Amino acid sequence: MSEYTITFKKNADIWKLYQRLKKAGVKDADLDKGYPKTDYVKKKRSVIHKGDRKIQKQEVLNYALENYQRYQLAIKKTTGYVVPWSLDDLDPKTDFDKKLRVRITKAINRFKGILTRAGYKKGTDKYNELLAVSLYAFAMAKKVKGANKTLVPADAAKEIMDAKLFGVRSYLKANGGLERIFIKDDCSMEATAVEALRDKCGWCTEQSKVLSAIFKRAGLKTDFVYGKFIDAARKKHQIAPASLHTSVALVLSDRVRFFDANMKKADAEQFYKGIFEWWYRQTSRELLSVHYSNLGNTYARKAEPEKAIAGLKTAIGIDPDHAAGYCNLGKVYLSNDKLDLAITKYKEAVKIDPTFVVARLGLGNAYYAKGEIDRAIAEYNMMIKINPKDPRALNNLRLAYEKKAEPYYNRGIAYAKKGLELSEKGQKQEALKENKKALLELQKAAKIGMPNLDEVISVIQGRIK
């Protein structure tokens, strides 16, 4: 049997993590499991490099992150990466996370006991599913001050009652939960689960980190979910054009169930069929890349480009197939007039996902800013091919054609002015020549796309006659 080949450089951060895993007894065969790659055109996921006896950096990071309870400190020390869905902030000076773990563990143990007494066998799909529903309700639940009740999402409350888990209902009524049901504000910076719980903030990524942390602490098998909104659903839910969405997948023996704390859905699959163009189960490594990408975006909004670039480069280093990461980095470079770098990153994004209209928009804008109008027009036309009604593409395409027509228009106006001057001097033949040249240039400008030229062309035609 041949030896395994290491595909990354020795002394690189991932090499150091690999050595930590090896010292802990992890075998190369444990790592050589491959990792998923997405075909955005065919909307398919496939695992690559599985069992090829070549250890990829993605495989090393996947393994460490999937077993983060054991390797979180090693990940931090070797790569500098945080594990944003962990309930341990690795800071001995703080005790919020410790109190949080105690409270969550208490709820987990109580719910497990309730399930067992209700006749559900530990380890079965039904047991795990109802434990997840109960913990989802705990994550969301909020006690109402001055009233003897606790608010829980209706679908979870009904499922708990249908399963006759009256003890879960009583526990939530007496103790409340983590109050994620009424989170309205995003965190000022992309946050870890602990930070989001401490600051009572966060949207889909933070909500998913919190829920995943609780599920994993209970021993449930989970993945993350990554989806792209269809345009109509994006508008209905008032979501930004570039927005992608994250939630949590509970992995059962024969199926997967989706929990979406942000959309308040305890079983979101049917809901997703109506709002997503596509969605797929996402590895912890891919979610970590999204975390750093979002962090970079936050710094970009705060006009801190160096920190933004650092965060986005980290995201791409974690997941070299993260199209949105390249797109976001291109956006930062474009906003700071680094056009060649912007073009390079946008091109990487559309290479990974040719249907990524936001990246094509950015690439077109970068070409436009650089004066490469024909290339800008090509990208805007690609956007229209993907979505014929995209208003950004239609508007920018019009502007690009106008820009392309400008030289013809400017020459036409110059010829027309010269013709008028010659005519006023009585030099009719010379004036006629200039007016004919003016008409030709202005007609070219109009044909390319310069608007509102009918009147000036008519005037020039009158001079020629």
pLDDT value of residue 240:
64
Q: List, by residue range, all CATH 1.20.58 domains of the chain.
A: 397-464
Per the document, the length of the chain is 465
Please choose, from the candidates 209, 220, 219, the residue with its C-alpha nearest in 3D space to the C-alpha of residue 178: 209
d(CA 221, CA 165): 22
Residues of the chain with pLDDT under 70: 1-2, 240-242
Tokens of 381: 């036309």
Segments of 113-177 assigned E as strands: 142-143, 150-151
Using left for φ > 0, alpha for ψ between -120 and 50, and beta otherwise, residue 80 falls in: left
d(CA 457, CA 242): 42
- Give 327-355 pLDDT, tens digit per residue: 999 999 999 999 999 999 999 999 999 99
Helices 339-352, 357-370: crossing angle, 10 deg rounding = 150
What is the identity of the amino acid at 305?
P
Number of alpha helices (DSSP H) and beta strands (DSSP E) in the chain: 21, 10
Q: Which CATH class is domain 397-464?
A: mainly alpha
Helices 391-424, 454-464: crossing angle, 10 deg rounding = 30
Please choose, from the candidates 199, 200, 138, 184, the residue with its C-alpha nearest in 3D space to the C-alpha of residue 165: 138
pLDDT value of residue 451:
87
pTM for the model stands at 0.90
Count Cβ atoms within 10 A of the Cβ of residue 80 and give its class: 0-12 exposed, 13-18 middle, 19 or more buried: exposed
Cα 20 to chain centroid distance, Å, stands at 30
Architecture of the 288-389 domain:
Alpha Horseshoe (1.25)
pLDDT value of residue 2:
66
Tokens of 338: 């680094």
Q: List, by residue range, all CATH 1.25.40.10 domains of the chain.
A: 288-389
Q: Which residues pair with 257 in a beta bridge?
A: 250
DSSP string spanning 147-158? SS-EE--HHHHH
The SS3 assignment for 260 reads strand
Check: CB of residue 393 under 8 Å from CB of residue 383. Answer: yes
The upper half-sphere exposure of residue 47, i.e. CA atoms within 13 Å in the direction of its Cβ, equals: 12
Angle CA 403–404–408, to nearest 5: 105
- Looking up tokens 């989706």 gives 258
d(CA 144, CA 152): 11
SS3 of the chain: helix, strand, coil, percent, to 5: 60, 10, 30
